[in-house]
Structure 1
Amino acid sequence: MFWCAFVVFFLALGNELHLSHATEVSVNNTENKLCLYANLMVNFSVTYEVGVNKSETVLFVLPENVTTEGSICNNTTSTLKLGFGDGHSWAVEFTKDNKTYQVDSIVFTYNLNDSNVFTNSTSNETKSVTAKPRITNVGVDTYYSCKSENVQRVESVTQTLYDVTLQAFVTNGSKSDTDTVCTADLTSSTVAPTTTVTTTAAPTSTPTPTLPTPTTGNYSIAPDFNSTACLMATFGLRIGFKQGDKVETINLVPSATEVGGACGVNSSILILTSDTINIMFTFNNDSKKFHLHALNVTVKPATGVAVVAANTNMSIWVAAVGSSYMCNKEQTLTVTETLTLYTFKLRVQPFGVEKGEFATAVECFMDSDLSFLVPIAVGVALCFLIVLVLISYLIGRRKSRTGYQSV
């Protein structure tokens, strides 16, 4: 029983990270035949006013369940309109010539009167922004495919598209098997996320530690130049990734890294950008606890192709809102089978920062005084198991001798 209990306890230490679902829709024409198809992921970041000279930034995603009311299929123009939530919509305008089609614009409409999304908004307006993405020269009877991130920033709104599959002007009533791949994917190797990830699992191939320990960087986000930090993080970061059969590692260099991001009521983001690494951390909170919710990583090594990986439904680095999360020991986070993150001397606080200082830290298990009990518990459990086996063996022999004596 002790052995079983220990195994359950030990396995529970690894937080499984499950992937979110994409938004997939099909639109039929008046003949009830497929004319528009989409399967994609979109993240939104919207900054809005909550008072005089005060603003908040909220982050949310295009949900799995949407409506297609207002979508239109014509010979040379088409509109894919996705409605969601309380008065929000996301519309893609397509046009076609003889051999190709393109996206002319993406119109995002959001309702500031939706208190579930825009908490404490001082406006009840419905606003729209129009983005002009570079989605062109898509062959007729092919679908547009782009795994890489496509970031559109217009006014106070940022839209991030990724894992995009789009087809307009479908002619035979079914989605094409041929794709037109975006330029970003042609110059990168995009890694599809695995279905589950554990923070305690080792990577598929452990890289040889040839690099020095990464330099610890101090990163912070402030609402404006005159404010103190609303998000703080400090850590050293290494990324391990596969290039063919070879495993390579790269360190993030803080002195060569630009910091960006935004602080929201329920979501905050930290974006670190260098010549070789782009990484976006998305933190969520439920008013009581916060956690790391999503990771988007792009590695651009000196040789070989770029590697892109994303996980958009994580639950690690958990701590109470108003406190910080700390883990000084090296942490291994296996994002995909071919990309792994290693953090050193980690401390983060994405919410409730006061006076530009970290609050009391919640320590990870590896830093706690109880971590030394793990090898002891393993040893005790093994000894207990050996004793049970010996007792069972002796009882079995005794019964055998009793049987012989009876004969």
Structure 2
Amino acid sequence: MYRFATFVLFLTLGIAVQLSHGTEVNVRDKDNNLCLYANLMVNFKVSYEVAINKSSTAEFELPASVTSGESTCGETSSTLNLHFGDGHSWSVNFTTDGKMYWVDTITFSYNLSDAIIFPNSTSTDTTTIYAKSQIKDVRVDTCYSCKSKETIETAPVSQMLQNVLIQAFVGNNSKSEEMTSCAADVPTTPVAPTTHTPTTTTTQAPTTAPKTTTTHTPTTTTTHTPTTTTDAPVTNATTTDAPVTNATTTDAPVTNSTTTDAPVTNSTTAAPPTPTPTPTLPAPTTGKYKIQPDVNHTACLLADFGLRFKVKEEEMNFEPNGTAVTGKCEVNSSELVLTSKTATIKLTFTNDTKKFHLHALNVTGKTSSGVAFSAANTNLSLWEAAVGSSYMCNKEQNYTISADLSIYTFELRVQPFAVKKGVFSTAEDCQADGESFIVPIAVGVALLVLILIVLLAYFIGRKRNMAAGYESF
């Protein structure tokens, strides 16, 4: 019995150790050198629909057995891409500036047709959500360590990260032993309470001497009534001074003969401060983005544009430098996801085999003043062009996404389908939308004027011929 109990105890401990170990992944580059390391635990909670107006919640974890073959390592951007189960994936995109690295985007895709995790689901779609993490400001050549729990809420998904040990952009083919700990793991030193000794401040009221005892000379001497000490039996040897009577008179108290003039207050009324005008933003930097399935294939989506947001009355430019680019290309739809330090933008394009257009736009972020914003529109028909060509518009365009959010595009050119040899195809210019009718109208007007001139010349000539005939008679 004792041996059996011992065996069960060791078995339980073994399971606990295995669960606490989480998921460990070593990503190697083309030279088989370690370039990205991860050891972490991720728990998911997903709310999904099981009937009309009814939902259920699935809870599962990132298993120890995953495939990481699609993970990539680059000089400024690396991706940890983990696939597991029946069509599920979890990926983390890292970016570095050479001194620090951070997580740009966490992408989680889950397959609702997996009946084991999502029983009775009314949908069989694969849904993808994008989230931001608190993993930031990690020094290069150090591991990011966080034993505390970090919960990331992105409806309808909740992700909880725990016991995280990650190093992106690994050098020297080995994981660093130096750690950059998360703020939650850093112990806070309690500040000892400071005891202040109370200080008693005695303020003497100005002594007003009787008028008869004050001699006004260049040096004014105030003569006090001599204090009479009564020689009574000594009890506590207290000498009682005769109180100085502060005469309540209308005369100002006399201190020294020096008269201090009250500061002269100028009666000039200060003008109200002029409000500082909002500086005009420069044109945003044009970013050049592309989706490339892997290193062996050319780009399947190209996009160049400068972007500006207007959140209520505040404007901000989208900065392409350091922006992480992710997405996908499919037969009838393509996605471009841009993630910077301040905003995440998801553009969804669709096509009907003849023409493509921007169908949906989802934007989340935070302005420079710290105001968070989020807006989506899934019923757009913008940037339309023929499949096999690109859409171009160099002029500034303004689009209202929601009541609080507008976007402005500059030097726009996109081609989400049928990209050949990794370059843009012939562009359909937005100028043609306004100018397509101008040319035929101008030609028509010119022809009409020409016909009128010919007819007028004909009638004038005929009238002259008729007049000449009458004269001959």
The normalised TM-score by structure 1 is 0.43
Q: Which has the higher contact order (CA 8 A, sep 6+)?
A: 1
Higher strand share: 1
The normalised TM-score by structure 2 is 0.37
